[in-house]
Every structure is written in structure tokens, then in C-alpha cells.
Amino acid sequence: MEYNFREIEKKWQKRWVENKTYQVTEDETKQKYYVLNMFPYPSGAGLHVGHPLGYIASDIYARYKRLQGFNVLNPMGYDAYGLPAEQYAIQTGQHPEVTTKANINRYREQLDKIGFSFDWNREIRTCDPEYYHWTQWAFQKMFNSFYCNTCASAKPISLLTEHFAQKGTEGLDVACSEELCFTAEEWKAMGEKQQQEILMNYRIAYLGETMVNWCPQLGTVLANDEVVDGVSERGGFPVIQKKMRQWCLRVSAYAQRLLDGLDTIDWTESLKETQKNWIGRSEGAEVQFKVKDSDREFTIFTTRADTMFGVTFMVLAPESELVLQLTTDTQKADVDAYLERTKKRTERERIADRSVTGVFSGSYAINPFTGEAVPIWISDYVLAGYGTGAIMAVPAHDSRDYAFAKHFGLEIRPLVEGCDVSEESFDAKEGIVCNSPRKGVKPYCDLSLNGLTIKEAIAATKVYVKEHNLGRVKVNFRLRDAIFSRQRYWGEPFPVYYKDNMPYMIDESSLPLELPEVAKFLPTETGEPPLGHALKWAWDTANRCVVDNRKIDNITIFPLELNTMPGFAGSSAYYLRYMDPNNHTALVDKKVDEYWRNVDLYVGGTEHATGHLIYSRFWNKFLHDLGVSTVEEPFRKLVNQGMIQGRSNFVYRIKDTNTFVSLNLKDQYDTTPLHVDVNIVSNDILDTEAFKAWRPEYKTAEFVLEDGKYVCGWAVEKMSKSMFNVVNPDMIVEKYGADTLRMYEMFLGPVEQSKPWDTNGIDGVHRFIKKFWNLFYDRNDNCLVTDEPATKEELKSLHKLIKKVTGDIETFSYNTSISAFMICVNELSGLKCSKKEILNQFIIVLAPFAPHVCEELWEMLGNQGSVCDSHWPACNEEYLVESSVNYTISFNGKARFNMEFPADAASDTIQTTVLADERSAKWMEGKAVAKVIVVPKKIVNIVVK
Ligand code: ANZ
């Protein structure tokens, strides 16, 4: 029988649905294993062969774990809110919901063809109200919580108001935007609005004034990566920095826990390092500086308190509130002009760009150690959002301060007297290198740092600062709170209404608050977000429902929030929802969560290293504090699949003609290379007829061939439509079958590595499956399988395979497993082995990779049920032991012949047998034996004289 993959795959895909093969329920009798892929955004272009790479890798693992007896959860869904659908809606008027649904259907069709073991009963879509109910719910919980530093946990905001009523801010150690100080009496005397404003300073979801990338033409805030060189990536419109009231999540409160948690999870070191840098823990000191001739004081953050003596000026971030206070009248015009200039630059550009700009404020600060007055400057190399937004500059020891001092002619004062401060002796990392332990360092008042290492000097200065009340020891994190508002339509609406300009939550029982219909997906004429177009977008607090805007009376009916949530809202807790996707009363039932706990294996791209993987860890920690999520870290093991790059093909057009010359002849002409659709090229040979039909301008194309063929050039590039190198998995499935596609994707190389898609080798994998099939059937469709017992050699071949594949799957080295399968099939074919005892087990080991063909053969061998429910075979090491060993027999060091001995033969026996062999007599030439050396399992050397 021919290996008819089309029929087999269709049959099993249908059977799996009918038999609910991949449906999973909580089963206390079995140990759980949770496999998860980062869910896709269903784009209009559909899947290309790069997308399923991670899904196949995790599917193999899921199937393997199931065969090992685990109860495996392997769900799939869609990250369905997002910008492309909205942009498309703006251009065409087509509702994003319509295009999103169509794209999802297409994705599903494509995924179904590849034979994944997803439990589709658990599918989720982030744009489904049933789903975003719980996104809104979590947001409300965050609004109603604050973060207690002492207990390192989120707590209900009611505890905070109780504390305020009893003690004001006294004894409080909580995360906040700004440190406030008031008494219980002052708190009680405040009106509702003022109290609400105060609470905003502590809520985990809060409205905050933040600097944002504002694009007036697009009418929206843009993320940093949507701004390139000061203009919007889409449209190229100017972007300015603007302070705006936005919803924020107090991710920074969790910085230390986000850092500590990394030690408890199995992620790659490089990913952990990226997260550590992003969180950016920095131990230092905050020191107060007085302003000369004024009562004002301001605080700076430094990690090098020991450099206080080298301070020669101060620098404020342009956005700092101090700028207004400290700019003198004479400097005002210059300062204003400078502020106008820096407004245009994003924070990222400011960090990347090392050109020096700045302006003098006109004021001076007093160094608290030396009493000396130093000028206060303003420059955008100091960032408003980090530390205190103000620094003490030590140009002799910090490279940016050094560049600044050089540019503006300010003093550069090294800590060690007499040090050279020229550019040659300045090290970008270390500054002017001081001798350490130091000598000749000027004492600060009564503090001497002589003889100390830098570390010791920093510690000593910190103690000094504390004891003399000059400041305090402080740990800073680079991690910022997340801006959580977007001025967009296609996202989760906030369950929030406004009373007297303050936000209030609609009651929990009224969730979800569904996204309203709008006439236009653009901002309104008055600059409000698209939800400003909604006519029915007001909250009736008495009847708990959405009503017509005209009914707003600001007594019981109020306007609803017009912003929507950002992309990461829906992806932050989706793994929890898969555990219990149809629960109408909770995000996830407590018992169910206690069963599945967290994701055991998470597979996805590295591009989410600092976005999604920080936000979801934060979100999960918050839910853990609430007692909703059992385990603090959501993703135990994480594997980043590499990218599949495209393999582009080129044709070479002779300039100013419509003639194309084959690769190896092209140097004889003046040619231009042009991308050609890889789908009309096979093994780098162009289908010239298909080329002519490809585009109208090539209809009359002529060719200069070599050996009667047109050979194309090739290059590895990003897989993209514009390079005509996109390979669609459907085409591969159609031509070779899903099992070949699955195995081939894994054969390309280690899962974690990026590699080009190169169809040239796919035939080999396809041939392997055919060869495997041929162990079961001969050419005339006769079944070859017998019940004969297996020989040692056959068992050895099989158990070698079991050992290799088991080890490979555990380490995600699937590519070498594929080679092992090929070797084993070759060995078994060589041995003409079609024994059931061997083939049954081979099928099980191959099933995670090529599930369709394995189900078919499993059934054919008369097994009951799906191969998914059989048992992963254990490797029996006994079969791997070599039963006999081949010895080289040599005389006086010269190899003469070989002899087989049982692997466990004793040296004596070997020696006697060798000497008794008649060939030995020949090589000894009648001489006496002086010595016999037996090297176990290798060699016997006979020394004769
Ligand atoms: C004096 C000094 C001397 C500094 C020296 C460094 C070297 P990390 O490790 O990243 O926390 N700094 C503080 N706030 C800043 C801001 N908002 N924008 C830009 N720079 C800022 O770095 C902390 C150091 O970066 C601080 O220590 C401060 O400069 C600067 F030889 O103070 B240092």
C-alpha cells in the first residue's frame, strides 16, 4: 500500500475530533503538565512556516509527556485585540471585529491541518467579553489595592484608609508615586475628592501624570518602539513629549520580587539577564543639596557617594519641577528655548544619543560636605523618570559628566590630587582611574577615605550621610510603572466612569463592560479617543447599565472612560483562564488553579523578554497576593524558539532588457538582481513558464540558460511578503503532508536557533516516512508484520533509538532525534525487520513527531484506542550492551588479524585462545613468547623474541 498521507491525515484529524482525543479535564489521579505557546495575534497574512515552529516543538513535548502518563494541558487561543485590525478599519471602514474573526478562522484552518494536540474546547479570544470580563476585573482589583512594602504584598485599599483615619501617614511603608505626609486629623478633614486624589498616589492601578510620546496628527500616545527619529513609525508625523493623565500600573512596586523570582525559574541565563537589566536594581544614596541664597533644597540620587568631593556642578532633567523654581530671570529665555528643543526627543533617543546639550539655570547649589557653591545646569542626559531627576555631576569619574564639563568648560576635579584629567587618561567606564586603595584623597570634613577601596569608600560615605542627616541610603529600580491607557478603539474598555473628574469603578457584578459601537474609528474632532464617537457610553449608577450620553446628569448618570487598555492587558493572565475557560463566576476556580498551578513549559519568541514576560509575571504576582493564583511565578520553564528566516531567490535581468540570465553566466552581462517568488523555484531552478505568468511585465521575458536550465541565486533574509520568500505551511502540507512538515521543521536545527527555511532537504524527510511505512507494507500492499520474536540486534537498534529520543526530547534537541529515526529505519530495513514487537514501540516513539501516520499504523497493528494513550517505552540498557567484542591481534606491535570474543571473556581465556589459534603460529615464526598484553575490549599484543 502506498503511503497516502492525504487520506491518512484527513482521517485522523476527523477521528481526533470525534473521539475528543485532545480534550482534557482535571484528573486528580494523574500528575499534571501544562504546556503553553505564546498565543498568536491573528494577522491578515495568515501563518507562514516560521509560526508553527514553536507550536510543533511544544506539541511534541506535550504528546511525549502524555505518553509518560501525565495529564497534559495544551491549549491555544488568540491575542485578538491589536492595532493592525484597527488601522485596517480606519482605511476601509470594515469593523475590526469582522476582520479579526475572519483572520481567526483562517488561522484555525491552517493550524488544524498540522495535527496539533490542542484542546480547542479551551480556546480563548482576548476580544471576547466573556474573556475580557476578567481583564477588567483584575484592573478593578488593582485599583482597589495598594502595595505594602513591609509585608511585600498587595492589600485592599480599605486598610490604607483605615490607617489614614487612625494615624495619617505615620509608620507607613507602602509603594507610592510621591511621598506624602499628613495626620489623621488632616485626612478626616479632607473632602471626598481630595481623599480620592490622595488614594491615587497609592493604588496599584492609578491615574498618573506621565510623560508620553504624543502624536497630535494621529491623536494618540505611541509606545517607544512606534517612534523613530522623533516621528511616528506609521505616517511619519511629529511626536512630542507631553505630560498626560494616563492609567498606570504600579509594576515598580513589584521590582524586588520580579528580580528574586528569576532565581526560582528555569529560563535561559540570557533571558534572565535581560530581565535583570530591565528591572535595573541600583543601590545608592539620596543626598540633599541646599540652593544658595534660598530656602529651597533638592535631592539627588547617586551610586557613588564617595565622589562627593569631585562634584563641580549639578544637573536637572528638563522636565524636573525644579527647573521652573531654580531658573533665574536672566536665564529664563535660554532655558525656555532649551526646553522647547528637548520636548521633541523620546527618552530612548536621549539615552542613545551622546551629543552634549544643556543650559545653565542661573542658580547654585551648596555641596553639603564641603560648603562649596556649584552651578546648577539643565540637560536632557538626566532623565526625569529615574532617581530624583537631578544629579550631582562628577566629571572626573563619570563619562557623561566629563563630556558635559568639556563642552561647557566646567571644572574637572579628580578625587586623587594631581591626577591627569586629559581625555587620554579617561576611561569610559571608570573615569579617571584612581589608585585603589586610595591615597592622597582629600578628606571630606572629618571623613577620610584614604586607604579604602571604592566599595569601602562608598559604604563609609553612606554611613556618614545617614549619621549627619544629609540624606538616606536608597535602592532604585529602572523598572517603570506601565502606562495602561491607549487612545484607541480596538481594545478592552475600562470599567470606569467619571464623577467630578475623578474615576470610579462600575460595580463588579456589572462586568463585563462591553466595547461600544462607534461611527468612526478615528479620534474625535475635539481630540478625544475613538470611544468619544460612541453615542451610548454613559453609566447609569442607579440601574447599573450603559445608557445614552444625552442622559448624563452627573448625579446618577456619568460619562464612561474613553481610553481603552493596551495590547498587554489581555495577554497578562490568559494562561490562568485556559485552566477554567468557561467559568462564569471567577477568572479561575481556586481548586482548578490548585490542580494546574502554573505553566510547566512556555514556548515563545524572545521579542517578549521585557514586555509580556514582565507584565504577566507582575500580574500573576498580584493575583497571587489576592489568593487567586496559587503559584507566584507563572512560567516555570521557558524555551525561546528561533526565527525561521526566508531563503530568497533571485533572477538577473540584463539592464534595459527583459532578458534574464542564469546565475553562473550573469557576470558576463551588466545585470540587476530581482527577487523572485520562491514558490515558482524548485531546488534553485526557475520554472520559466510560471515566471512569465507571475507578473504581466514578465510575460515576454526571455532567458539565457545554462545546461538548459535557469539557475537562481539565493540569500537568507527575513521571511517577508516584500521579498517573495514566504512559504506557506498549507502548501507544504498539501505536497508532503503534515507529518513531513512537522518533522522537517524540527530537522532544520535546534529549536532555539534561528535558521533559514530551505525546502531542498524536505524530500529526505518525506522519504524517511515512506521507508518507515515500507517496514509495514510491501510494494504489493501485503502486510509484512509478523509476530516473530525480535533478535538481539533488532532490540538493540530499537533501544538505541528509545534512549536517544528520550534524551533529546528532554533537552529539546529534536533535530538529532530525527536523524536517530532515520538511522533506526535504515538498520531495521537492512535487517528486514517487520516484527510487531519492534514496530509497536517504534510507532510510540515516533508518534509525538508524526502523529497521523503513527495512529494509522498503530491501528493497523490491531492496537485499541489512540497511540496517544499508550505508554512511552523505557530503554532497556541490557540490549545496548555489546555481546561480543572484536580484538585486534598484533605481534610485536603490528596488527595481523582480528578475533571475536564474548564481551565478558576473561583475559586468561583470551590469551590462551589467541595463542592456540593457528594463525598465531604463523606470525610467531617458531619464536618464543616473551609477553602477552591484553587491553580489554581492544587489543591483544604478543611480544616474541
Ligand atoms: C555621582 C556619580 C559619580 C555617579 C560617578 C556615577 C559615577 P545607576 O547605576 O544606573 O543607578 N544618575 C542618577 N539619576 C540619574 C538620572 N535621572 N538620569 C541620568 N543619570 C542619573 O546610575 C546611577 C548614577 O547615574 C548616579 O550616580 C548618577 O551619577 C546618575 F563617578 O552620581 B552618579
Q: Rounded to an integer, what distance in angstroms lies between the CA atom of residue 761 and that of residue 748? A: 9
Percent pLDDT > 70 in the chain is: 97
Q: Rounded to an integer, what distance in angstroms lies between the CA atom of residue 382 and that of residue 180? A: 24
Helix (H) or strand (E) holding 349: helix 347-352
Type of residue at 156: P
| Residue 616 maps to a domain | yes
Residue 758 has pLDDT above 60, yes or no: yes
Residues 359 and 473 occupy one common structural domain = yes
Q: For position 440, what pLDDT does the model report? A: 54
Q: For position 225, what pLDDT does the model report? A: 66
Q: Whose CA is closest to atom 29 on ligand 1?
A: 302
For ligand 1, whether the C-beta of 119 sits within 6 Å is no
Q: Which three cell numbers stand for residue 279?
A: 528591572
Does the annotation place 894 within a ligand binding site?
no
**Residue among 768, 832, 771 nearest 797 (CA):** 832
**Residue among 585, 589, 566 nearest 205 (CA):** 566
What residues contact residue 242 under an 8 Å CB cut-off, 6+ apart? 211, 212, 214, 343
Q: For position 93, what pLDDT does the model report? A: 86
Residue 474 has pLDDT above 90, yes or no: yes
Q: How buried is 499 (Cβ within 10 angstroms: 0-12 exposed, 13-18 middle, 19+ buried)?
A: middle
Secondary structure of residue 864 in the 3-state scheme:
coil
The DSSP bridge partners found for residue 390 are 316
pLDDT, mean of residues 311-334: 95
Residue 843 has pLDDT above 60, yes or no: yes
Q: Whose CA is closest to atom 27 on ligand 1?
A: 302
Residue 140 has pLDDT above 90, yes or no: yes
Residues 449 and 350 occupy one common structural domain = yes
CA of 303 to the centre of ligand 1 (A): 6
Q: Which three cell numbers stand for residue 111?
A: 493550524
Q: How many CB atoms lie within 10 A of CB 770?
A: 14
Residues 826 and 933 occupy one common structural domain = no
Secondary structure of residue 634 in the 3-state scheme:
coil
For ligand 1, whether the C-beta of 414 sits within 6 Å is no
pLDDT, mean of residues 234-257: 90
CA of 357 to the centre of ligand 1 (A): 18
Residue 824 has pLDDT above 70, yes or no: yes
**More confident call, 825 vs 385:** 825
pLDDT, mean of residues 571-576: 97
Residue 446 has pLDDT above 80, yes or no: no
The DSSP bridge partners found for residue 174 are 148
CATH number at residue 927: 3.10.20.590
What residues contact residue 771 under an 8 Å CB cut-off, 6+ apart? 825, 826, 829
Residue 489 has pLDDT above 80, yes or no: yes
Q: Which of 841, 858, 879 is the last residue of a domain?
A: 879
Q: Rounded to an integer, what distance in angstroms lies between the CA atom of residue 206 and that of residue 199? A: 9
Residues 44 and 113 occupy one common structural domain = yes
For ligand 1, whether the C-beta of 415 sits within 6 Å is no
Q: For position 760, what pLDDT does the model report? A: 76
Q: For position 213, what pLDDT does the model report? A: 84
Residue showing cell 451610548: 536
User: What's the half-sphere exposure (Cβ side, CA atoms, 13 Å) at 705?
Assistant: 10
Provide the pLDDT confidence category of residue 221 given band limits of 50, 70 and 90. confident
Boundaries of domain holding 603: 34-128+567-641
Residues 677 and 812 occupy one common structural domain = no
Residue 420 has pLDDT above 80, yes or no: no
Q: Whose CA is closest to atom 19 on ligand 1?
A: 382
**More confident call, 99 vs 83:** 99
Q: For position 244, what pLDDT does the model report? A: 87
| Residue 145 maps to a domain | no
CA of 282 to the centre of ligand 1 (A): 10
pLDDT, mean of residues 450-459: 83
Q: Rounded to an integer, what distance in angstroms lies between the CA atom of residue 801 and that of residue 796? A: 9
Q: For position 768, what pLDDT does the model report? A: 97
Instruction: List pLDDT tens digits, range 759-805.
Output: 778 999 999 999 999 999 998 889 999 999 999 999 999 999 999 99
Residues 602 and 653 occupy one common structural domain = no
| Residue 746 maps to a domain | no
Instruction: List pLDDT tens digits, range 96-113.
Output: 999 999 999 999 999 999
Q: Which three cell numbers stand for residue 43?
A: 494577522
| Residue 705 maps to a domain | yes
Residue 384 has pLDDT above 90, yes or no: no
For ligand 1, whether the C-beta of 368 sits within 6 Å is no
CA of 305 to the centre of ligand 1 (A): 10
Q: Whose CA is closest to atom 25 on ligand 1?
A: 302
Residue 550 has pLDDT above 90, yes or no: yes
**Residue among 54, 192, 229 nearest 603 (CA):** 54
Residue of 369, 391, 415 with the most ligand 1 atoms within 8 Å of its CB, for mutation: 391
CATH number at residue 330: 3.90.740.10
Provide the pLDDT confidence category of residue 443 given band limits of 50, 70 and 90. low
Residue 347 has pLDDT above 90, yes or no: no
For ligand 1, whether the C-beta of 426 sits within 6 Å is no
Q: For position 526, what pLDDT does the model report? A: 80
Secondary structure of residue 245 in the 3-state scheme:
strand
Residues 321 and 448 occupy one common structural domain = yes
| Residue 604 maps to a domain | yes
Q: Rounded to an integer, what distance in angstroms lies between the CA atom of residue 79 and that of residue 77? A: 7
Q: For position 73, what pLDDT does the model report? A: 98
Percent pLDDT > 90 in the chain is: 76
Q: Whose CA is closest to atom 26 on ligand 1?
A: 302
pLDDT, mean of residues 22-42: 97
For ligand 1, whether the C-beta of 303 sits within 6 Å is yes
For ligand 1, whether the C-beta of 380 sits within 6 Å is no
Residue 311 CA: nearest ligand 1 atom is 1
Residues 696 and 599 occupy one common structural domain = no
Residue 701 has pLDDT above 60, yes or no: yes
Q: What is the mean pLDDT of the chain?
A: 92
For ligand 1, whether the C-beta of 818 sits within 6 Å is no
Residues 907 and 816 occupy one common structural domain = no
Residue 621 has pLDDT above 80, yes or no: yes
| Residue 190 maps to a domain | no
Q: For position 299, what pLDDT does the model report? A: 95
For ligand 1, whether the C-beta of 382 sits within 6 Å is yes
CATH number at residue 867: 1.10.730.10
Residue 383 has pLDDT above 80, yes or no: yes
For ligand 1, whether the C-beta of 392 sits within 6 Å is yes
Point out the least confidently predicted range of 268-277, 409-418, 855-864. 409-418
CATH number at residue 572: 3.40.50.620
Residues 707 and 812 occupy one common structural domain = no
For ligand 1, whether the C-beta of 307 sits within 6 Å is yes
pLDDT, mean of residues 206-219: 85
| Residue 588 maps to a domain | yes
Q: Rounded to an integer, what distance in angstroms lies between the CA atom of residue 521 and that of residue 41? A: 20
Type of residue at 907: S
What letters, b where the CB count within 10 A reaches 16 and e where it falls short, cover 360-371? Answer: bbbbbbbbbbee
Residues 783 and 874 occupy one common structural domain = yes
Q: Which of 826, 846, 879 is the last residue of a domain?
A: 879
pLDDT, mean of residues 600-613: 93
What's the Cα-to-Cα distance from 594 to each of 348, 597, 874, 903, rounded to whole Å? 42, 5, 31, 52
Instruction: List pLDDT tens digits, range 865-890.
Output: 999 999 999 999 999 987 788 899 99
Residue 431 has pLDDT above 70, yes or no: no
Q: Which of 427, 450, 477 is the last residue of a domain?
A: 477
Q: Rounded to an integer, what distance in angstroms lies between the CA atom of residue 492 and that of residue 484? A: 11
CA of 302 to the centre of ligand 1 (A): 5
Q: For position 516, what pLDDT does the model report? A: 98
Provide the pLDDT confidence category of residue 222 given band limits of 50, 70 and 90. confident
Residue 315 has pLDDT above 90, yes or no: yes
Provide the pLDDT confidence category of residue 432 given band limits of 50, 70 and 90. low
Provide the pLDDT confidence category of residue 236 given band limits of 50, 70 and 90. confident
Residue 223 has pLDDT above 90, yes or no: no
For ligand 1, whether the C-beta of 399 sits within 6 Å is no
| Residue 502 maps to a domain | no
Provide the pLDDT confidence category of residue 87 given band limits of 50, 70 and 90. confident
Give me the number of domains the chain comprises.
5
Residues 928 and 833 occupy one common structural domain = no
pLDDT, mean of residues 686-699: 95
CA of 197 to the centre of ligand 1 (A): 32
Q: For position 759, what pLDDT does the model report? A: 78
Secondary structure of residue 181 in the 3-state scheme:
coil
